[in-house]
Amino acid sequence: MLKKISWFVILFSLVFVSSPQAAKVISIGTAPAGGTWYAIGGALADIVTKHVEGVNATAEVTGAAVANVKLLGTKEIQIGLTINAIAKQGYEGRRPFKQKYTNIRSMISSFQKGYLQIFTLAGSDLVYVSELKGKRVAVGPAGHGSLIRLKEIFKTMGFSFDDIKPVYLPYGQSLRILGDRKVDAAVLYMAPPVPAVKQFSVTNKVKLLRLKEENRKAILAKYLHYVPEVVPKFSYEGQDQSIPTVATANVILVDQDLEEQLVYNIVKAVFENIDKLRASHPSMKKFSLDMATIGSLVPFHPGAVKYYKEQGVWTGK
């Protein structure tokens, strides 16, 4: 009996030792399906899975900017896409957050910008964002980081969410009820062109609302996290002019407790396969290593710093 047991133990040990080590699973918080971040997050997950040994990454559908900071802060995800200003609010525990998420770290800063884009149907009398007072507006998903930005923007024009009839829905559903004329406008705070809008415009003619130049200047003067941008002409069907707007920089965050070498390997894989990330969405075409350390408002992960120093782009901030 003892001999049989000994052989069983030896056989079990050999099987255990020879079995490949399970891959480390990393969840990447993106945004609702159909959005810009979902496409970018999917490309990022593919790069990590294929080019970082021993790691299996998945892109998760989430509520986007605010949700990703919370999920990362509570360690339900390991990487998350968000807005730099939102990241800082989460790190410091300021509204809309009720606690500090001090474990969040920058991995890639300013990978892309989120643009204020507000759509209405082509036949609408609305022309300017300032005309939304008293209107029914699909403002995006509840808890989305863009809601904070939208409230700031409205404030410079002398009104608030109390002066509109806000509808909180994911972007795809927002466009659907716009097409059904249940709202007067739909806000999509993301980089153009938005895939969901391009699909929607196949059957519904849309137009972008404009910011009056005095309102645009007021936003840029009051809130320093905004930058001036334009939605390029021909981004959408029937849009034959560039539309001036404002934008905020977006950041890819990571959990501070991920190993330094692992984060180094992830960042290295991203920039060695940058063409795949650039191809994930038109807004990523100009993404480069030089952008990676610019504009972050929370500390960087040491693994990312190590890579940026090697590449000579680390600014020491």
Provide the pLDDT for residue 21: 60
Tell which residue, 249, 252, 297, has the closest CA to residue 47. 252
Q: Which is higher by pLDDT, 10 or 272?
A: 272
Can you give the pTM of this predicted structure? 0.77
Q: Is the pLDDT of residue 272 over 60?
A: yes
Amino acid identity at 284: M
Provide the pLDDT for residue 143: 74
Provide the pLDDT for residue 17: 46
Looking at CATH, the fold of the domain delimited by 115-248 is given as D-Maltodextrin-Binding Protein; domain 2 (3.40.190)
39-80 pLDDT per residue, tens = 999 999 999 999 999 999 999 999 889 999 999 999 999 999
Share of the chain above pLDDT 70, in %: 93
17-36 pLDDT per residue, tens = 444 567 899 999 999 887 78
What is the CATH code for 23-112+250-311?
Answer: 3.40.190.10
Provide the pLDDT for residue 40: 95
Provide the pLDDT for residue 157: 96
Numbered ranges of CATH 3.40.190.10 in the chain:
23-112+250-311, 115-248
- With H, G, I as helix, E, B as strand and everything else as coil, classify residue 186: strand
Rounded to the nearest integer, the mean pLDDT of the chain is: 91
Per the DSSP assignment, residues forming a β-bridge with 113 are 249
Residue 273 neighbours by CB distance under 10 Å:
17
Round to whole Å and give the CA distance between 102 and 260: 17
